C-alpha cells in the first residue's frame, strides 16, 4: 500500500519536476523535487523494493511509488532516478531502466542504492560516505569519479558492521568453550538474550538465521561495553578502527587532500563506542578530514544526480 507522506500544497502540476526513489528491503520511498531549486514537493512510501529479494515485486513497487508521486504532481515529470538494493549488475539496471522509459516516457537513471545515498549525503559535493549497519561499505565521489571500498558481503568482508561485531563475539565464545574456559560476561549476556543455555543451541541459531538476526546482538555488546566490560569494549573499538581504515584507504586511493566524510548507518550513528573509535582513528590518520552529518533523505540523491548530468551536458 502506498502512503502519501507530504505535499507542499503548491500547484506542482504546473511545474517541471523530477522523482527520486530509494528502494530497499524494508520499503520503497519516493519523493518529487523541483528540478531547478531542489525543493521537495511530495513524498510517498510503499512496500519493499530490493531487487535481490524479489525483482518482480520490487519493480512493481517502484512503478507504483512513481505513479503515486505523479498523481500528486501531475504529468510534467522530466527525470526519474531509481536507487535500489540489488542493482549492482549492469544488466539488471538496464532492464529496469528500459521498462521505466517505456512506461513513463521520460529520462531515467537507474543506480544502486549506495550511489543514490552517496550523492544525497554529500549534497552533490565530493567526499566519502561510510555506511555501517548490518553490513558495511565506503563510497567515494571526486568529480565524476565514483568508487567503492568493501561491501562484498559477510562471507568476504563487512568489516566493522553489526554482523562483524556479532560474529566476533560468537567466535570468542566458541574459542573459550573449546579451551575449557569459563564463559565470559559477554558470552553469558548473549546467551541470555537468545534464550539459550548451551553452546550447541548457539550454533543451531547461527546456522539457521539470516545475518540480520546475527547482528541483532550488537545492543547487548554495546550495553556491556558501556558498563566497563573490556571484551565488549575491545570489539566495538576494533569495529570503529576497521571502518576508519576503509575510509582512509579509499581516501588515499582517490588522492583526496582535505576530505568530507559522512558517517551513516545504525552502527555509526547509534553505537557510541564505535562512532568514537571511528572518529579518533580518522582524526589521527586524516587530520584535515571533516566529519559531517547529512540531513538529506536518500531520495534527494536523485536531484543531485540530475544536476550532475545537466552540468556534464553543459
What is the per-residue pLDDT across 119-160, written as a single tens digit (0 to 9) for each?
999 999 999 999 999 899 999 999 989 999 998 888 998 999
Q: Give the per-residue pLDDT at 86.
A: 87
Domain count of the fold of the chain: 2
205 touches 195 (CB < 8 A): no
Quick one: 24 and 108 in the same domain?
A: yes
Residue 142 covered by a domain: no
Q: Are residues 178 and 81 in the same domain?
A: no
Give the Å distances, CA to CA, from 311 to 97, 291, 304, 306, 314.
21, 27, 11, 9, 5
pTM of the model: 0.87
Distance (Å, whole) CA 82 – CA 100:
10
- Is 31 part of any domain? yes
> What is the span of the domain harbouring residue 190?
162-291
Statement to judge: residues 72 and 166 lie in one domain = no
Q: What is the DSSP letter of 265?
A: S
Q: Would you say residue 219 lies in a domain?
A: yes
Residue 239 placed within a domain: yes
Inside any domain, residue 97: yes
- Whether 269 and 305 map to the same domain: the answer is no
Instruction: Verify that 21 and 56 share a domain, yes or no.
Output: yes
Predicted local confidence at residue 3, as pLDDT: 59
Position 1 scores a pLDDT of 58
Any domain includes 136: no
> Is 93 in the same domain as 57?
yes
- Cα separation of 133 and 310, whole Å? 33
Nine-digit cell string for 158 = 563487512
Look up the CATH number of the domain holding residue 287: 3.30.420.40
285 and 301 fall within a common domain: no
List, for the chain, all residue ranges whose pLDDT scores fall below the cut of 50: 8-13
Residue 40 lies in a domain: yes
What is the predicted pLDDT for the residue at 91? 93
pLDDT at position 12 is 47
Is 146 inside a domain boundary?
no
Which pLDDT does position 11 carry in this prediction?
44
Identify whether residues 283 and 307 lie together within a single domain: no
Amino acid at each position: 500500500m502506498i502512503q502519501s507522506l507530504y505535499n507542499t500544497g503548491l500547484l506542482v502540476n504546473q511545474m517541471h519536476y523530477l522523482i527520486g526513489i530509494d528502494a530497499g528491503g524494508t520499503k520503497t520511498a519516493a519523493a518529487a523535487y523541483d528540478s531547478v531549486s531542489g525543493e521537495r514537493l511530495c513524498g510517498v512510501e510503499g512496500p519493499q523494493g530490493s531487487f535481490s529479494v524479489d525483482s518482480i515485486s520490487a519493480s512493481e513497487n517502484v512503478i507504483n511509488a512513481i505513479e503515486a508521486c505523479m498523481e500528486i504532481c501531475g504529468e510534467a515529470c522530466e527525470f526519474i532516478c531509481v536507487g535500489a538494493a540489488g542493482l549492482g549488475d549492469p544488466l539488471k539496471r538496464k532492464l529496469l531502466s528500459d521498462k521505466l522509459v517505456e512506461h513513463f516516457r521520460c529520462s531515467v537513471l537507474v543506480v544502486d542504492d549506495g550511489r543514490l545515498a552517496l550523492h544525497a549525503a554529500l549534497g552533490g559535493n565530493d567526499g566519502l560516505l561510510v555506511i555501517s549497519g548490518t553490513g558495511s561499505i565506503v563510497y567515494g565521489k571526486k568529480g565524476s569519479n565514483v568508487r567503492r571500498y568493501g561491501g562484498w558481503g559477510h562471507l568476504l568482508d563487512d568489516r566493522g558492521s553489526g554482523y562483524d561485531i556479532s560474529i566476533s563475539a560468537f567466535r570468542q565464545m566458541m574459542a573459550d568453550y573449546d579451551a575449557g574456559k569459563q564463559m565470559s560476561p559477554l558470552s553469558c549476556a548473549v546467551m541470555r538474550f537468545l534464550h539459550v543455555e548451551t553452546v550447541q543451541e548457539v550454533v543451531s541459531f547461527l546456522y539457521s538465521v539470516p545475518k540480520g538476526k546475527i547482528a541483532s546482538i550488537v545492543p547487548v555488546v554495546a550495553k556491556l561495553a558501556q558498563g566497563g566490560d573490556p571484551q565488549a569494549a575491545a570489539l566495538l573499538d576494533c569495529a570503529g578502527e576497521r571502518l576508519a581504515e576503509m575510509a582512509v584507504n579509499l581516501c588515499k586511493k582517490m588522492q583526496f587532500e582535505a576530505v568530507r566524510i559522512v558517517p551513516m548507518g545504525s552502527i555509526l550513528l547509534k553505537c557510541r563506542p564505535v562512532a568514537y573509535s571511528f572518529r579518533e582513528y580518522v582524526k589521527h590518520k586524516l587530520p584535515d578530514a571533516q566529519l559531517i552529518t547529512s540531513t538529506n533523505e536518500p531520495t534527494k540523491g536523485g536531484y543531485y544526480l540530475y544536476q550532475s548530468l545537466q552540468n556534464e551536458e553543459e
